[in-house]
Structure 1
Amino acid sequence: MVKLALGSIGHSLSAGSFKSYLAEFIATLIFVFTGAGLTISYGKLTRDAELDTTRLVALAIAHVLALLIGATMAANVSRGNLNPAVTFGLAISGNITIITGVCYWIAQCLGSIVACFLVQFVTPSMVAPTHGVGYDISGIQEGVMETIITFVLVYTVYVTTDNPKNGLVGTIGPVTIGLIVGANIFVGGVLTRIIITLTM
């Protein structure tokens, strides 16, 4: 159900709110740095420019762990969204205000940007991973796949962390979120290929 709430600038710019934005920034930075860093380092290790089975498993495990840790770190401060799509879902459901959601988006995007710069800095001789359309599917099919796995992620976050009646499920919410990201990587990782150009 859509329950939009604009919120107030004063509340969204309070000291407590800035702690939430900082938590989102740091947690997103950790998540993106780990994912991009592993993609590059594993590609260099295997000298393989295409996504293979072992790299897919390694990427899924790294993303599960990084998201689990990031979401757990930020859970009690900002709910541990780490993803603009998740933030959007929480904003339209009324769990956070629109202004707070926009501030979360800014923090998440800045965290991702800084993480990418850090990965580029520590791996200067290697090219960052790029994404391309997978084997035997069209751009439209890829878009539908991305929409489905994004919905699954947002829905998982919503039902495991934002209902006070969830009890234990709410407590282990970061674990379920990390696991669904890993499952999504297994499902969509080959269809949305990660292509790395290695510079020796």
Structure 2
Amino acid sequence: MKIAMGTSREAAAQPDCIRALGVEFISTFLFVSASVAATVAAEKLEAGALVGLMAVAVTQALFVAAVVPAAHISGGHLNPAVTLGLLAGGHMTVVRSVLYWIDQLLASSAACLLVQYLSGGLSIPVHTLGSGVGQLQGVIWEIVLTFSLLFTVYGAIVDPNRGAVDGLGPTLTGFLVGANTIAGGAFTGASMNPARSFGPALVTWNWTNHWVYWVGPMIGGGLCGLIYQKLFITKSHHVLIPTHEDGAYL
């Protein structure tokens, strides 16, 4: 299995790349805005921890299910770990992946600044490790959660032999994001997404254990992409530049 490097022309000379980056920025911006706003709202309303967690889980699940299909031009990754998972499986070039990562981080930062302004300057909650959860435990949590996310993305969206779930990929992925948020939220915040963690950390300048939310998701995403593509997709390798006219990858 080969990973294509791509060329510098992808950054400026290809209209489909410019369009994809624009859509990826907007979709990531909206996703982080909704997720962070739900978290801020739960704290403002002094909702209990479980109620707040459920609010964030439902918000993220519904958003992924509804917006990812609309972001078909870019694939609606919303997440550097998803981009890495697709890169590892040979579905993205290295150059295009780097552009997506920059795009996602900028969108997340802008979204957090907007939510902070619209909330009247309320603090933006950052992802933190739960009480009694060590850094290694946090990394493993994020690896497992993100691996399951990419496993769903590959099985329900990327795999050409997805069978009965064809067309249900974004909805099933949204369900998985919601379920993972409930399962892991009390332990790590269930980020699964370095961009989602980056924006709040930048805006608040709180980098405590921030590396956990890069190492865990990126290992989980990349590992799943390699394993699924190598063991479960029965087709010859080809690089798919993500115009995704046949549907979003996430």
Tell me if both proteins adopt one fold, taking TM over 0.5 as the criterion.
Answer: yes
Deviations 1:109-156 (A, max 9, x none): 111111111111101231111222213221211111011101111221
Corresponding residue of 2:25: 25
Residue matched to 2:65: 68
State the 1:193 CA deviation: 4.9
**Paired AA for residue 24 in structure 1:** E
Equivalent positions of 1:24-173 (< 5 A) are 24-46=24-46, 52-74=49-71, 76-173=72-169
Task: Using structure 2 for the length normalisation, give the TM-score.
Answer: 0.71
**Alpha-carbon shift at residue 164 of structure 1 (Å):** 2.8
Letter of the structure 1 residue corresponding to residue 43 of structure 2: G
User: What does residue 4 of structure 2 align with?
Assistant: 5
Report how many residues are paired: 189
Instruction: Return 5+ residue gaps in structure 2 as ranges.
Output: 191-250
Equivalent position amino acid for 1:40 in 2: V
In percent, how many aligned pairs have the same letter? Answer: 34
Q: Which of structure 1's runs of 4+ aligned residues deviate more than 2 A?
A: 8-13, 163-170
Matched, 1:188 2:184: yes
Q: CA deviation at 1:108?
A: 1.0
Structure 1 length normalisation: TM-score?
A: 0.87
Which residue of 2 is the match for residue 16 of structure 1? Answer: 16
Do the aligned residues in 2 keep the contact of 1:28 with 1:70 (CA within 8 Å)?
A: no
Show structure 1 runs of 5+ residues with no match: 195-200
SS in 1 for 2:128: strand
CA separation of 1:119/1:178 partners in 2, compared to 1, >3 Å: closer, same or farther?
same
CA contact (8 A) 1:163 1:170 kept: no
**Distance in 2, Cα, partners of 1:169 & 1:108:** 28
Cα 1:6–1:193 change in 2 (3 A) is closer
Name which of structure 1's ranges 162-171 and 185-194 shifts more when overlaid on structure 2: 162-171
Q: Which amino acid in structure 2 is aligned with residue 160 of structure 1?
A: A
